[in-house]
Amino acid sequence: MNANWNYPTAIRVGSDRLSEIGDCCLSLNMGNPLLITDPGIKDFPFIKEAVDSCKASGLDCDVFSDVQPNPTGTNIEQGVTAFNSGRHDGVIAIGGGSALDAGKAIALMARQGISIWELEDIGDNWTRADVAGIAPIVAVPTTAGTGSEVGRASVILDEAERVKKIIFHPKMVPAIVILDPMVTTGLPPMLTAATGMDALSHSLEAWCSPAYHPMAEGIAVEGMRLVREYLPAAVASGSDVEARTQMLVASMMGATAFQRGLGAMHALAHPLGALYNAHHGTLNAVLMPYVLIANRQAIEPRIIRLAKSIDIPNASFDSFLDWVLELRETVSIPQNLEDLGIDDSQADLIGKMAEVDPSSGTNPILFDASQYQSVFMNALNGNLS
């Protein structure tokens, strides 16, 4: 029972707290932050509100939005160029997981003399970074899914190798997070569902991980309870402020919990996202029941305990699995990977990539490439037997 534990940052929760972003930047000694977002929301009113808040606090503020749904090394290089050419001294990251991951990576690389790939989360690579060169970050999630706002890592696509890589540094975690439900109320139902299921996957895989982290286990359970209670409401009514708030909290809790580790859902979702440019949260949502079944022999007692904790009737592995399937149907998640336009042409490669993905190391069963390929094929064809 030897472990190193870390917990996240200062968090401001509540409606209309985006207006505090200028004060947040001032408290971190920013004078000229670069606001990083994605092209899908760069013209939304809340982006202008954030810029206006900065200007009202006497700050300069430019916007960088060249971020793909699966952010790439090129996106990060372009962001670093914008950061340095504008003489910026901090980052405001606003958006879903892609914008938050890109913002953190740009802040990390702002003044480094090495390649971003030298900071991949392998061994002690993170010690290569110049800590003084990492810019401070304020993060504002606009989706309730990845929880990247409290994470110490970013997932970035290496285009040359067609592999998603986890870039890690302890100082990447944003200094201040604003959870304002009003910036999420316009999120479409399908994206609300996919990101909410992503939050569930984080807490669920953390709960199933064999790593020693009792605090993360407790947070995972409450995160899943919140998803159970509030995700259907958030999908059904985008203006439900309570549901939106609770899902932002559930997302943040999931990302805190997965300090305990992830598993086969993410080990498969990462290569599928890299190869097919599919939405990460949707991939995890589709993969979820197939991975649960594959891990059953190792996790059944824990799943029964979880089912009792979040009030699943007739608590058992099967009743929990039935709840997952019913939740997916309620929020209109596709039933299999084929519905996402994925095929079996790269099944062998996907199995091999999943086996070496960092998330595979804390799956309850250490699957080899052929076993990952088998889970992938079941998820592709909708085989739950």
What residue type is 361 in one-letter code? Answer: G
Closest CA to 36 of 83, 103, 84, 97: 103
Closest CA to 89 of 49, 57, 62, 66: 62
What residue type is 221 in one-letter code? Answer: V
What residue type is 207 in one-letter code? Answer: W
Instruction: List, in order of start, the domains of the chain with CATH numbers.
Output: 10-183 (3.40.50.1970), 189-381 (1.20.1090.10)
Span 93-116, pLDDT tens digits: 999 999 999 999 999 999 999 999
Contact 169, 121 (CB under 8 A): no
User: Could you report the average pLDDT of every consecutive run of 10 residues in the chain (385 residues)?
Assistant: 74 94 96 96 95 96 94 96 97 95 97 96 94 96 93 93 92 95 93 96 98 95 98 95 96 94 97 93 98 98 98 97 98 96 97 96 98 98 94
Q: Write down the pLDDT at residue 243.
A: 97
Cα of 272 vs its chain's centroid, Å: 15
Q: Write down the pLDDT at residue 8.
A: 74
| Phi then psi dihedrals of residue 100, to 5 deg | -65, -45
Mind spelling out the 3-state secondary structure of the chain? CCCCCCCCCEEEECCCHHHHHHHHHHHCCCCCEEEECCCCCCCCHHHHHHHHHHHHCCCCCEEECCCCCCCEHHHHHHHHHHHHHCCCCEEEEEECHHHHHHHHHHHHHCCCCCCHHHHECCCCHHHHCCHHHCCCEEEEECCCCCCHHHCCEEEEEECCCCEEEEEECHHHCCCEEEECHHHCCCCCHHHHHHHHHHHHHHHHHHHHCCCCCHHHHHHHHHHHHHHHHHHHHHHHCCCCHHHHHHHHHHHHHHHHHHHHCCCHHHHHHHHHHHHHCCCHHHHHHHHHHHHHHHCHHHHHHHHHHHHHHCCCCCCCHHHHHHHHHHHHHHCCCCCCHHHHCCCCCCHHHHHHHHHHCHHHHHCCCCCCHHHHHHHHHHHHHCCCC
70 contact partners, CB below 8 Å, separation of at least 6: 98, 157, 164, 273, 274, 277, 280
d(CA 166, CA 155): 5
Contact 205, 154 (CB under 8 A): no
Sign for the CA dihedral angle at 329, 335, 339, 340 comes to positive
Span 59-87, pLDDT tens digits: 999 999 999 988 999 999 999 999 999 99
Closest CA to 178 of 43, 53, 59: 53
What residue type is 267 in one-letter code? Answer: A
Closest CA to 36 of 86, 81, 100: 100
Q: Write down the pLDDT at residue 364.
A: 98
- Rounded CA Rg of the chain: 20
Q: Locate tokens 């990101």: which residue? A: 195
What residue type is 272 in one-letter code? Answer: L
188 contact partners, CB below 8 Å, separation of at least 6: 238
Q: Write down the pLDDT at residue 162.
A: 87
Crossing angle of the two packed helices 280-294 and 189-208, in degrees rounded to 10: 40
Q: Write down the pLDDT at residue 363.
A: 98
Q: Write down the pLDDT at residue 385.
A: 85
Span 343-355, pLDDT tens digits: 999 999 999 999 9
d(CA 376, CA 100): 28
